[in-house]
Amino acid sequence: MSFYQRRFSRAEVLDKFRAKVAAKKPVIACSAGTGLPARCEEAAGADVILVTNGGIHRMRGRTSTAAEWALGNANDIMLGVAKDVLTIL
């Protein structure tokens, strides 16, 4: 997808995770629904940033559980959020 700024091969990601596990260090995964938390998570050293569609619902005044409701195509919503989040990182 063209909105990614950095690309890592599967082997690079797995090598990084395996090295952390071998060193008995935790693999830190954080969730972001908007760009600012994602930027903060990256700066704090998160190993994985999970992009969800919950943030967009909260910005629209809905509860986080709205991500489980049939309010549209969840895949399309999530890809839209991912574009916003990933272009900020």
Domain boundary assignment for the chain: 29-88
* Alpha-carbon torsion angle 33, 34, 38, 40, nearest 10: -120
pLDDT digits (tens, 9 = 90+) for 12-35: 999 999 999 999 999 999 988 777
The model scores a pTM over 0.85: no
What pLDDT does residue 25 have?
95
CB-based contact 33:58 (threshold 8 Å): yes
